[in-house]
Each structure stands twice: as structure tokens, then as C-alpha cells.
């Protein structure tokens, strides 16, 4: 009798293990397909990648239109979760969102924890400074002791700290707040992406600030961030991005949002690599 009871317990245990195994074998792609939608993490404040146009409650931007097109081609709906940059990676790890798209740079340290799609944007890093004196910055070494506005955990803040600057952190702030603070002297600079900075300056002409004419550093590749080991989902994203590259959709969207420039191809300028920067 005891043996029959023992065998019953073992059998039930095996059933539970089998059920758990089946549950764990469901891939992220299968999970998204079953839900019928992609939950996308983005800021909604990063012009012109992810933003709300004036008097509109609908997100748009280069990144937003890319993921919208990907979802349409994969026959999926989209739900957006807007959040500060500093919380994005944690939201992906926790499962709050299915992927992130917010002009996020591919770095070696992030690749250890997350999957990346193929790049949809190629760029480099520039510095916005005050026009009258370039904020006292002639070379990259002059960043030491200056104040740089930015998100606390971004690559651009790491670059600022690498050269001895003090990072003044912001939450999910809009571009005009960053730019105004450089203009009035609360900060000395904004280190960020060339395309984003160029468009921000065109959008907010009331500030006496410019792109530094001599500093072009740190070539970058931007991509969609996905959960680690979500390989099938990543493959589906990459296949769709490749279709969009081949049929000209990426180029068309880039020119729409970046003043006629094609950020979907590598820039021709000579860009200075930063020695000793561990990303």
C-alpha cells in the first residue's frame, strides 16, 4: 500500500515537472503571438526618435514609426509604455515590456544581458554648447570639471564622466529643458547623438546654443533591445528590418524625421574613437 502511494506521488511530481517544462518552453515570440500585440518601452520625449507632436496624443518619431511598421508586417498590435530612460532596461528584465526602442546604443555590457536587433540607425556623438564661448570647451579634454545634462545611466553620461565632467541627471525630461539649461548656464553641455542634437537645435531656435564644430566622437549603432535568449523573436524582428532596408522604408522614414538625411546607413565622416571607454 505504501509503495502504491509512493508511486502515485512520483507520478504526480512528474506531471508537475512536465507542465513546468512545457510552460518554460514557450518562447517570447510565441508569447507575443498569443497576446496579439507587442508591448513597447519608449520615452515619448526624445525628439525626433520618440515624441508627441504638439497638440497630439499619438506617439511618432523615427523609432516609433519603425516599430509600428514592424508590428504591422508581423500582424501584431502595439501597446506603448512611456518611461524614463533610466528605468527602461529594468522594465525589460521584469517583463513589463516586450522590447525597447528609444535610440538605444549597442554596447558590450548590455549585450551580456539582452538581445539586440540588427542596427536600424548609425550615428556618432556630438556636444551641444553655448554659442558665445563654446562653454569654454575647445577639445574633448576640456570636459573635465564641466556640467553635462543627461540621463544618469546613459552612454552619454558615461562619456561625460570618462572625461571628468559632472553629470546633472534628469528624469523623463523634454528636449527644451535640457537645451534651456545649457543656454542659461545651469549646465555647460549636452552630450548626445548627432542626428538628435541637430534636429533639436532646429526645433528650438530661441536658445543661443550650437553643436561644437570640432568634436565628433564615438561612432554608434542603435538597435531594438529584446530579452536575453528571445532568439526567435529577434530573428523575426531582423527579417522584417531587412525587408524594410531593401524596400527603402528605413531610408524613407529617416529622411522624414532627420531633415532629409539617411541615418540608416553609416556616416561618411571620420569619427574619433574614445580610448579606454568601457561600455
6 Cβ neighbours under 8 A, 6+ residues apart: none
The Cα–Cα gap between 149 and 208 comes to 16
What are 91's three cell numbers?
522594465
Domains 28-120+224-257 and 122-219 share a fold: yes
The DSSP result for 242-257, as a single string, is: HHHHHTTHHHHHHHHH
Q: What is the pLDDT of residue 19?
A: 43
Cα 62 to the chain's mean position, in Å?
A: 12
The domain locations on the chain are 28-120+224-257, 122-219
pLDDT: is 261 or 9 the higher one? 261
Look at residue 69 in the predicted model and tell me its pLDDT: 98
Class of domain 28-120+224-257: alpha beta
Cα–Cα distance list, 160 to 105, 145, 155, 227, 238 (Å): 16, 10, 9, 28, 32
d(CA 44, CA 101): 10
Helices then strands, counting H and E runs in the chain, come out as 10, 13
The rounded mean pLDDT for the chain is 90
State pLDDT tens for residues 128-187. 999 999 999 999 999 999 999 988 778 999 999 999 999 999 877 888 999 999 999 999
First-residue to last-residue Cα distance in the chain: 63
Does 23 have pLDDT greater than 60?
no
- Which residues, 6+ apart, have CB-to-CB distance to 182 below 8 Å? 128, 129, 130, 135, 149, 188, 189, 190, 207, 209
- Residue 150 DSSP class: E
Q: Is the pLDDT of residue 25 over 80?
A: no
Q: Give the strand pairing for 147-150 and 45-46.
A: unpaired
What is the distance between the alpha carbons of residues 95 and 93, in angstroms, rounded to a whole number? 6
Q: Which CATH superfamily is domain 122-219 in?
A: Periplasmic binding protein-like II (3.40.190.10)
* pLDDT digit string, tens, across residues 185-239: 999 999 999 999 998 899 899 999 999 999 999 999 999 999 999 999 999 999 9
Residues 253 and 120: beta-carbon distance below 8 Å: no
Per the CB < 8 A criterion, the answer to whether 72 and 51 are in contact is no
pTM: 0.80
Higher pLDDT, 19 or 161: 161
Amino acid at each position: 500500500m505504501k509503495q502504491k502511494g509512493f508511486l502515485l506521488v512520483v507520478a504526480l511530481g512528474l506531471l508537475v515537472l512536465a507542465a513546468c517544462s512545457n510552460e518554460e518552453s514557450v518562447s517570447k515570440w510565441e508569447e507575443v503571438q498569443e497576446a496579439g500585440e507587442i508591448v513597447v518601452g519608449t520615452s515619448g520625449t526624445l525628439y525626433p526618435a520618440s515624441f508627441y507632436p504638439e497638440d497630439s496624443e499619438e506617439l511618432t518619431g523615427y523609432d516609433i514609426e519603425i516599430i509600428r511598421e514592424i508590428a504591422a508586417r508581423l500582424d501584431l498590435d502595439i501597446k506603448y509604455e512611456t518611461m524614463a530612460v533610466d528605468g527602461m532596461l529594468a522594465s525589460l528584465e521584469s517583463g513589463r515590456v516586450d522590447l525597447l526602442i528609444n535610440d538605444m546604443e549597442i554596447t558590450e555590457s548590455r549585450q551580456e544581458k539582452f538581445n539586440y536587433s540588427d542596427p536600424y540607425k548609425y550615428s556618432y556623438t556630438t556636444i551641444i554648447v553655448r554659442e558665445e564661448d563654446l562653454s569654454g570647451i575647445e577639445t574633448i579634454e576640456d570636459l573635465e570639471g564641466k556640467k553635462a545634462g543627461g540621463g544618469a545611466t546613459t552612454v552619454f553620461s558615461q562619456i561625460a564622466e570618462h572625461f571628468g565632467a559632472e553629470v546633472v541627471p534628469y528624469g523623463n525630461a523634454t528636449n527644451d529643458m535640457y537645451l534651456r539649461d545649457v543656454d542659461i548656464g545651469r549646465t555647460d553641455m549636452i552630450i548626445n547623438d548627432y542626428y538628435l542634437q541637430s534636429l533639436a537645435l532646429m526645433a528650438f531656435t530661441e536658445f543661443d546654443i550650437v553643436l561644437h564644430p570640432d568634436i565628433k566622437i564615438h561612432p554608434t549603432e542603435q538597435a531594438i533591445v529584446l530579452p536575453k535568449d528571445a532568439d526567435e523573436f529577434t530573428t523575426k524582428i531582423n527579417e522584417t528590418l531587412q525587408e524594410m532596408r531593401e524596400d527603402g522604408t528605413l531610408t524613407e522614414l529617416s529622411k522624414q524625421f532627420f531633415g532629409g538625411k539617411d541615418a540608416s546607413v553609416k556616416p561618411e565622416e571620420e569619427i574619433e574613437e574614445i580610448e579606454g571607454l568601457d561600455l
